[in-house]
Amino acid sequence: MAISATIVTMGNLTATGAYLRISDLTVKKIIESGDDQNKWLMTYGVDCYVNAAERAKDTPAKLVAPSVDRFKVIADSEFADPMAAAYANLKTRSGQLSNISDLV
């Protein structure tokens, strides 16, 4: 799974058609007191590359894009498919991404 999108990298450069892939994913239950009690926390990181061809190289060069580096999602119930939920959430990040399309 991966998506293609336009992102802004460090240095304010725009990368059109960048290849974005979820690199790590963690899900845990929040058992603390407060508003988020008994909810689920998903955190995920995103690796960014110039394009799919760069990602396919033996030693691909990653883009540095702090605005799409890491995200947190809090939900009322456990995620049935955490990876699919992370990609769905990433695609909703219109403030950080544009021209989003799914890649196979």
pLDDT tens column, 15-44: 999 999 999 999 999 877 666 677 899 999
Which residues, at least 6 apart from 75, have a Cβ–Cβ distance to it below 8 Å?
39, 40, 42, 85
| DSSP H or E run through 88 | helix 82-91
DSSP readout, 43-87? Answer: EEEEEEESSHHHHTSSSPPEE--GGGSEEEEEESS--SSHHHHHH
The Cα 81–Cα 86 span in angstroms is 9
Instruction: Give the residue extent of every domain in the chain.
Output: 2-99
Residue-by-residue pLDDT tens, the chain, 104 positions:
999 999 999 999 999 999 999 999 999 998 776 666 778 999 999 999 999 999 999 999 999 999 999 999 999 999 999 999 999 999 999 889 999 999 97
